[in-house]
């Protein structure tokens, strides 16, 4: 019996940049891997007025990610930086791209947070 290969573990990094707090994820985001990102975003949203989610190293994100981003958006100023095409497509299909602040790069998202 063969097993379905698991995607590599998600890595999450956090740091201050300009007047915002950056939470960067590396890896695929789904219900099984989302916990570290969820914890980091929830903690940042509870203590920071501006949170930037750096999605530049996220090749895949499912509906659990969308749900998390919308929940965080309701609790702080959330900016999404450098989302890859698959995540952008999910946001567009659901209309979430109209509610969330999307930026083409981390630099743009952090500049917007500083102004």
Average pLDDT taken over every residue of the chain: 92
Rg (CA), the chain: 14
Q: pLDDT (tens digit, 9 = 90+) per residue, 65-97?
A: 999 999 999 999 999 999 999 999 999 999 999
Give me the CATH number covering residue 45.
Answer: 3.30.750.24
Number of domains in the chain: 1
Buried b (16+ CB within 10 A) or exposed e, 9-40: ebebeeeebbebbbbbbbbbbeeebbebbbeb
* Cβ atoms 112, 20 nearer than 8 A: no
Residue 55 lies in a domain: yes
Q: pLDDT (tens digit, 9 = 90+) per residue, 61-73?
A: 999 999 999 999 9
Residue 3 lies in a domain: no
Domain that holds residue 45: 11-99
Residue 2 lies in a domain: no
């Amino acid at each position: 019996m063969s097993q379905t290969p698991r995607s590599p573990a998600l890595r999450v990094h956090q740091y201050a940049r300009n007047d915002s707090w950056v939470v960067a994820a590396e890896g695929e985001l789904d219900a099984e891997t989302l916990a570290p990102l969820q914890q980091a975003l929830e903690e940042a949203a509870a203590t920071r007025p501006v949170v930037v989610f750096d999605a530049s190293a996220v090749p895949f994100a499912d509906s659990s990610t969308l749900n998390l981003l919308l929940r965080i958006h309701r609790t702080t100023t959330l900016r999404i930086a450098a989302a890859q095409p698959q995540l952008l497509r999910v946001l567009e299909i659901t209309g979430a791209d109209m509610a969330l602040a999307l930026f083409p790069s981390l630099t743009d998202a952090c500049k917007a947070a500083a102004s």
